[in-house]
Chain A
Amino acid sequence: MKTQHIISWILQLVIIAVLIPSAYMKLTGAPDSVSIFTQLGMEPYGRYIIGFLEASACLLLVTPNSAAHGSLLTICIMLGAALAHLTKIGFNSSSCFSCLVILIISAIVTYLRRMQIKSIARMLN
C-alpha cells in the first residue's frame, strides 16, 4: 500500500514535469505550438483549450484526493494528441514518443489511484 503510494507520487510528478512546459508553451503561444495547432486547424482557441486542460490536469495531480481525476484527464489529452499524430502531424517528432510514454504512465497512475473514482475501481475487482 505504502510503496504503491510512493510510486504513484513519483509518476504523478513525472507527468507534471512534462505537462507544465507543454501547457506554458501553448498558453504563451510559442511558435512550435502555434504551428502544430495551425496544422490541426485549431488556432488559436484549440491551443488555449488544450493548454488550459493540461494546466488543470497538473492541479488535479497534486491534489491528493483527485490524482486519479488528473491522470484520467491526462489520458484524454494524450489520446487526443495521439490522434493528432496519427492523422495529421505524423510520427516523426519526439513529442509523439513522449505522448505515448505519458499515456502509459497516466494509465498506471489511474490504476494505482483507482479507489478515488468508484466507476474506475469497478472496472477491476
Chain B
Amino acid sequence: MAASVDLHKISRFANIAIPLLAVIFFFGGHFIHFYIHFLTVVFIILTVINIFYLHIQKKHTILRNFGILGQARYMLESIGPEMRQYLFASDTEERPFNRVERSEIYRKSKGIDSASSFGSQMDFDNSEVKIRHSMYPVDKQDIKPFSLTFGEERGVKETYTITKPYLISAMSYGALGKNAIQALARGARLAGIPMNTGEGGIPKYHMEEGGELVFQIGTAKFGVRNDDSSLNQEKLIKLCTDPSIKMIEIKLSQGAKPGKGGLLPKEKITEEISKLRGVPQGEDVISPAHHIECTSKQTTVAFIKHVQDTVDIPVGIKLCMGKTSEFRDMVKEMKNQQVYPDFIAIDGAEGGTGAAPKAFMDGYGMPLYASLFAANQILTEQGVRDKLKLLASGKLINSSKQFVALALGADAIYNARGFMLSLGCIQAMLCGNNTCPVGITTHDPALQKGLIVEQKAQRIANYVKGLEYDFYEMLAASGIRDAKDLNIEQLYIPNDTALADQITTLLSTTK
C-alpha cells in the first residue's frame, strides 16, 4: 500500500499521549524542577478539552472521532480561502473575478499604466467572445464624443444626458456601509457619472455628496412605500423634488436572484437603516419577489405608466431575463398600451449581490451576453428599439467586456462590482456577514475606519477615466466614429459560446 497518513491512528495516539504527557511532566515538575509544571498545566488543560471533545459534545463528528487533532481541520478550513487566494490559485482561476481582471481595475483605480507584457492569459480557443478590429483604424479626434439622453423619446420634462457610457449599478446603503456609499457618490461626482441608489430607501448619504442619482424602486419600495409594499405616490413626488434625483429605476428582478426578493440580514439593520427604509429592526427584511402592483404583463406595463405619470424624469426598469417569450410578450404589451420605459437595464445572471440564496445565485437566470442580445433582437424585431435605451450589467468590469456589451446592443454600461474593486474590495466574499475586511459591505465602524472616503473617491474617478480612455481607443481601433454605430459585426463569436447558441435559437424561432 502506498504510504499514507492514517489520521485515525495518529489521533488515537495523540489522545493517549496527551494525558500521559501530563503525568510525565507532573513527575518532572516534582522531581526535577518546578519550571516543568508550566508544561504540566498546559497538558492538563489539553486533556480536559480533549475529554470534552471526545465524550461530552455531540455536535461535531470530527472532534468526537479524532479529538483535539480534529481541531486542526477547523483551523485549516478557516484559513483555506486566504491560502488558496494568496498561495495556490493561479492568476486566471478565481471566481467571480480572477486576479488578472481584478488587478486591471486596481491599476486603473490607482492611475497606474495597465499595459502588460509577453502575452495574454486569457483563452483563445472557442470559449471567449473577442472584438474584431478594423484594418483602417480612425483617429481618436474624429470620434464623436459620447452622449446619451434618457427620456428624449417620450419627451419627458426633465430629460437626462450622460456623457460617459457608465453608470454605477444599484448597491443599496444597507448592503454597503456609509463610507463606501460616500466614496462611491463622491467618486461618481468627480468622474461625472450617475450612481444608482439601490433599493436602500431614502438615499441620504448619496444626496449629501451632491452627485447625480438614479433612484431605484425595489420590490419592497423602501423609502417610498406604504405598509403593504405598494407605492406611496406622495413620498415619491417629494423625493423627486431633490435636484440630484435624475432618473427612476423600477427593479423587476436582479441577476443574482431573479424571481426572488432581496434579503437584508438583521445584523445589518441599524437604527438609521430602519428609518431610511421604513422597516422594523431586529429581524431579517425580506423584499417580496415582485412588485405587489405587477402580477401580469398588463399590470406591469400599467405600473410603469403609473410611475411615469407621477414624476417628470425618465423612468426605466431593471430585469434579469428568464424566458425570452415572456420578454417578447411584455414588449408587445408595451406596444399595445403605447407605454415604454425610458430604459431597460438587462442584468445578467452572473450579477452580484449582498446576500442571496445559493441556488438562485448559481442556478437562475440567463447570462448577460445571451440575454442582452435577445433583448436587443426582440426590441428590434418588434420595431420599438428606438423607443428606449438599453443598459447592461453583469461582470462588465473591464473595457473589453464593456465593449462587447455595447456591440451587442447596450447603449451604456451598468457596473457594480467593478466599482467595489476600485474601492479596494479584495473579493473576500463576506458581503452578507457585516465582516467585510475592507470596510465596504459592513457597518462596523472598526472595519470602515480603513476606508478613507477622499482617497477612494479619487480611485473611482481614476477608474472611470481609465475606462473612458480605453473606450475611445477601442472605438478608434474598430474604425468606429460614433458609439451608436457599434453592432454585432464588431464581434468574433465562437460557436461554442452561450451567446452563439442564443443567436441561433432566437433567429431560427423568429424567422
Contacts and interface: CB of A to CB of B under 8 A. Distances in A.
Interface of A: 40-42, 46, 72, 75-76, 79-80, 83-84, 87-88, 118-120, 122-125
Interface string B30-59: 100111011011101100010011001111
B60 interface: yes
Interface in B426-456: none
A124 to B, nearest CB: 6
B74 interface: yes
Contacts of A120: 49
B35 A42 contact: yes
Contacts of B40: 83
Contact of B56 (A42, A46, A124): A124
A80 B44 CA distance: 10
12 contacts: A40-B34, A76-B45, A79-B41, A79-B44, A83-B37, A84-B37, A88-B34, A118-B74, A119-B71, A122-B53, A123-B53, A124-B52
**Main SS at interface, chain A:** helix
A122 B60 contact: yes
B57 A46 contact: no
Interface size class of B (residues with CB under 8 A): 20 to 34
A124 B34 contact: no
Contacts of A122: 53, 57, 59-60, 63, 71, 74
Contacts of A118: 74
Q: Which 5 A-B pairs have the closest CB atoms?
A: A123-B52, A40-B34, A125-B59, A79-B41, A76-B41
A79 B46 CA distance: 13
Nearest to A123: B52
Given A40-B34, A123-B56, A80 B49 contact: no
A123 B41 contact: no
B29 interface: yes
B139 to A, nearest CB: 61
Given A46-B35, A75-B45, A83 B53 contact: no
Interface of B is mostly: helix
Nearest to B38: A80
A125 B57 contact: yes
A119 B177 CA distance: 31
Interface of B: 26, 29-30, 33-35, 37-38, 40-42, 44-45, 49, 52-53, 56-60, 63, 71, 74
Given A76-B41, A119-B71, A41 B34 contact: yes
A42 B34 CA distance: 7
Contacts of B53: 122-123
Contacts of B38: 80
Contacts of A83: 26, 29, 37, 40-41
Nearest to B37: A83
Given A76-B42, A84-B37, A122-B57, 6 more contacts: A76-B45, A80-B41, A122-B53, A122-B60, A122-B71, A125-B59
A33 B41 CA distance: 21
A87 B63 contact: no
A89 B143 CA distance: 92
Nearest to B63: A122
A124 B45 contact: no
B14 to A, nearest CB: 15
Nearest to A45: B35
B41 A124 contact: no
A41 B45 contact: no
A41 B49 CA distance: 30
A83 to B, nearest CB: 5
Contacts of B56: 123-124
Contacts of A46: 34-35
Contacts of B57: 122-125
A48 to B, nearest CB: 13
Given A80-B41, A83-B41, A118-B74, A123 B34 contact: no
Nearest to B68: A119
Nearest to B58: A125
Q: Which residue among B37, B56, B63, B74 has the maximum number of chain A CB atoms within 10 Å of its CB? A: B37
A40 B57 CA distance: 38
B79 to A, nearest CB: 13
A92 B369 CA distance: 83
